[in-house]
Chain A
Amino acid sequence: MLIVCWSPVMVEVWNGPGDKKTVEGPSRMPAPIRLRELIRTIRTARTQAEEREMIQKECAAIRSSFREEDNTYRCRNVAKLLYMHMLGYPAHFGQLECLKLIASQKFTDKRIGYLGAMLLLDERQDVHLLMTNCIKNDLNHSTQYVQGLALCTLGCMGSSEMCRDLAGEVEKLLKTSNSYLRKKAALCAVHVIRKVPELMEMFLPATKNLLSEKNHGVLHTSVVLLTEMCERSPDMLAHFRKLVPQLVRILKNLIMSGYSPEHDVSGISDPFLQVRILRLLRILGKGDDDSSEAMNDILAQVATNTETSKNVGNAILYETVLTIMDIKSESGLRVLAINILGRFLLNNDKNIRYVALTSLLKTVQTDHNAVQRHRSTIVDCLKDLDVSIKRRAMELSFALVNGNNIRGMMKELLYFLDSCDPEFKADCASGVFLAAEKYAPSKRWHIDTIMRVLTTAGSYVRDDSVPNLIQLITNSVEMHAYTVQRLYKALLDDISQQPLVQVASWCIGEYGDLLVSGQCEEEEPIQVTEDEVLDVLEGLLVSNLSTPVTRGYALTAIMKLSTRFTSVNRIKKVVSIYGSSIDVELQQRAVEYNALFKKYDHMRPALLERMPIMEKTASNGPTEIVQTNGEAEPSVVEAKHPPPVTQPTNQANDLLDLLGGNDVVPVIQTTVPTKPASAGGELLDLLGDLSLSGGPAPAPATSVPSSQPAFLLDGLTSPPLFNDIAAAGIPPMTAYNKNGLKIDFTFERANPNPNIAVITIHASNSTEADMTDFVFQAAVPKTFQLQLLSPSSNVVPTLNQGTVTQVIRVLNPQKQQLRMRIKLTYTHKGSAVQDLAEVNNFPPQSWQ
């Protein structure tokens, strides 16, 4: 007998494949080396390559041994193969050998064979099905240990087909009086049910007296089986509710009974069983008043009597708390549960603290007030060393923030934000923003909090925070001076954190005038000159730290300051320099801004004026729009789509003013347009300016800038990035139909600029007399621009014999809903007719 001794026990008992007592058989081949020998040899390898070589050599030997169908050493060879497989080497050629071992009559063979099957075989390969018959036989074997092997293997890796075939055998064994087998059969049944849920029914009869067992193994596995069935089927759940009293009794016995050496763990009797019973009770009591009531007492008992000095006691308490929270327990019991969690939070054992935080997170919604009581302990956990604990404490802290504790909580959370690991910063920052938005006690506090986040964790802030913050700042009108001042100061310190820089640039662009005027009320106003501000912004443009998006913000901010600062020349210079920037986005902006300075200077103030208060939308916000729209006025486009509420009424007033208050100038060919002296705003310019391409019309009066038609015809400098509005497909509409005069509008998109709608009017006359001296005029709200081209004629022939057509071009950069007022004058049957009408029924595609 070989004494290979590192454990005396081992020598006595173990006599398996590693046994030296094998004799060179009649075959010429030397006996394959023993398992232990192989292990020892492989462990002497000093390099991976050396190991691989040994393994390959041995595998080759094993392969040839398998080929010889050697029964004697098959077991030893497979054992070696399993070892090598564990090291990571392929062993698939041993799969069939495992099956042969399973089929063998020797117990040793079966033991290794089944182990090999569990390690090497995979239910996705058909090979495993060959096991089915063997397992079936072994389930009926005379030796319970063989039966045990079969049950174990089936319960660990049985495929659905195998389970279907063998479910009957398992069910039979579930009813046996042999507790060794019964407990295994129960867990095997669990596996069968998981694989083939339809088979659950067949196990129902066998469950009848499972709980009457005294054997703890059977009890434990039975509870697991019942749990599985209840979780899968509401019918089963209802059926098994009647077991609640029995379960309560068993649990009670476990707690009340004295010391039982067989099941004792640190003074607690069979904690595994207790925990499983508690879990089953949870499922049975959930949503059911009667069951919940029946278990109330025992839960209270367990909660108060369980020894908490060791992990095992706390494991039971933990399960108890989960059960109390899930069932319909009395409020007293719930408070008891939360208090247990509170005590857990103070436990030295970090594992206990961890589960406490997890559980509190689950209950914070339903038992908010109770959890609030432990707020300070939870906040302390923010300082814990363990990452998982910190994360949970953070989540829980945010869940506990409310209007009453916002100041205190935020202080803690901001401190946490300062010092926490980078992996937390993004989530924490988002959480702070959300909480601040919901519960900010004052605007100033809100802005300060945002500033704090931006300056301490500015690079971790989420992308969508920037537009949200911009909106928030815009809407806090009275804080503008304070905000821009603080942001400016922050920029002086640090320009590396992009979200901070972007928000700051934007604010300086908007409120730079407040900055230099030193108007701040909230704190000591700083003295800063226009040049200093421009220095900072230009610095952003050239800095390596700035991303392209940031540069875009900076450039736009500089441009905006051209209407707020006096040093316009400097700004012009900057803008023109960037007209040749390599960065396409920057270049485009610069070129367009340049154009603003040169050709459209009169529009600049309006375009760059202060942003109105924005409506809250849930969408991504301005940054997206800035990216997608190649407009000359990105700052205008930054406003959200839904127009500010105040606008519609203004539009109406505009229209009234237009046509009511001022003389309407007739269309080109006839007369030179006369400009009313009270002209104000671009609209009169528009109406007055009708000197167009074609036609003998004289140039309009000097007050009308002749560049306008060119402007509209030019379109805007570059093609928009998103050219997705198709010209075709905008349905025509009837704009006016009265007294026999019908005016239809048809639509086209101007290429390349989709913000210009080209409308062609078709005037037709269904009366028996011609309409002569026909003049069509139109006016649009302030935000639009309109251009009327020459009509085809000014006689609308009778009886629909022809139409007068005329082209209108409407520029709608803000994509606002198109509205128009029209005025018609003509002579009909000797009398002059004049009519005003409003056109509101433009199809959405014409202005979107």
Chain B
Amino acid sequence: KKISKKSSKIRQGKLRLQKWYVPLSDKERKKISRDLVQTILARKPKMCSFLEWRDLKIVYKRYASLYFCCAVEDQDNELITLEIIHRYVELLDKYFGSVCELDIIFNFEKAYFILDEFLLGGEAQETSKKNVLKAIEQADLLQEEAEAPRSVLEEIGLT
């Protein structure tokens, strides 16, 4: 069970994405995020990817300027969590084509959509990379179709 959240942050400690799977107030979330970010940014490169924080296990991995971190429960397998993180990064990479941080900044909602096709309630819902991307693709198409007629109409002045 991957409870709590998954978030990615940059070196300066700015959050680019956070997903919460437990009910917490905005204030609590902010505090936790802040604490966690500080803790992780304080880690040295040689340290391992796991740490204990409060009563949770934190699994984090750095990709270029972004840190991806997950808070999991005691009985969860940390090593497979690393694979989950990696899978998500792969999905972003495939979708955006060599993803970089700017992609995630300017398309944050897409990053969320992809995450929500990969995980649900903190667990992986689809283990095939291909299937996740296919679903996003289809949904994007659906969106485009929904938009297209309107813009055509508007274009010819019929609102």
Contacts and interface: CB of A to CB of B under 8 A. Distances in A.
Nearest to B151: A21
Interface in A692-732: none
Contacts of B21: 156
Contact of A354 (B48, B103, B125): B48
Given A122-B23, A123-B23, A145 B109 contact: no
Given A145-B139, A216-B128, A388 B102 contact: no
A15 B50 CA distance: 39
Contacts of A354: 48, 50, 78
A291 B107 CA distance: 49
B4 to A, nearest CB: 12
B77 A36 contact: no
B35 interface: no
Contacts of B64: none
Interface in A303-342: 311-312, 314-316, 318-319, 322
A143 B142 contact: yes
A387 B47 contact: yes
A214 interface: no
B124 A220 contact: yes
Interface in A263-297: 263, 265, 270-273, 275, 279
Nearest to B110: A14
Interface string A10-47: 10011110010111011000000000100110010000
B137 A13 contact: yes
Interface in A190-248: 190-191, 216-217, 220-221, 224
Of the four ranges (under 10, 10 to 19, 20 to 34, 35 or more), the interface on chain A belongs to 35 or more
B126 A217 contact: yes
B83 A15 contact: no
Interface in B141-159: 141-144, 146-148, 151, 154-155, 159
A388 B154 CA distance: 61
Interface stretch (A108-116, A475-483, A638-646): A108-116
A137 B33 CA distance: 35
B46 A188 contact: no
Contact of B127 (A15, A151, A273): A273
Given A6-B106, A8-B97, A262 B47 contact: no
B79 A187 contact: no
A713 B141 CA distance: 100
Interface in B31-64: 46-52
Nearest to A159: B23
Interface residues of B, number: 69
Contacts, number: 196
A111 B120 CA distance: 15
A111 to B, nearest CB: 7
A568 B131 CA distance: 92
Contacts of B102: 6
Contacts of B14: 87
Interface in B78-108: 78-80, 82-84, 95-97, 100, 102-103, 105-108
B70 to A, nearest CB: 14
Given A122-B26, A217-B131, A318-B77, A108 B105 contact: no
Given A9-B96, A151-B120, A220 B125 contact: yes
B72 to A, nearest CB: 13
B28 to A, nearest CB: 10
B127 A216 contact: yes
B30 interface: yes
B15 interface: yes
A180 interface: yes
Interface stretch (A78-86, A414-422, A660-668): A78-86
Given A14-B140, A311-B82, A312-B83, A111 B113 contact: yes
Given A108-B147, A152-B116, A315-B77, A86 B108 contact: yes
A107 B120 contact: no
Contacts of B100: 6
Contacts of A122: 23-26
The 9 closest A-B pairs by CB, nearest first: A315-B79, A350-B48, A187-B120, A217-B126, A315-B80, A155-B121, A272-B127, A107-B146, A191-B121
Given A23-B154, A115-B116, A184-B125, 7 more contacts: A6-B106, A107-B139, A124-B25, A191-B121, A314-B79, A315-B77, A315-B82
16 contacts: A6-B102, A13-B140, A15-B147, A21-B155, A43-B105, A86-B108, A108-B146, A143-B142, A156-B21, A187-B123, A191-B121, A217-B125, A279-B77, A312-B79, A314-B79, A351-B82
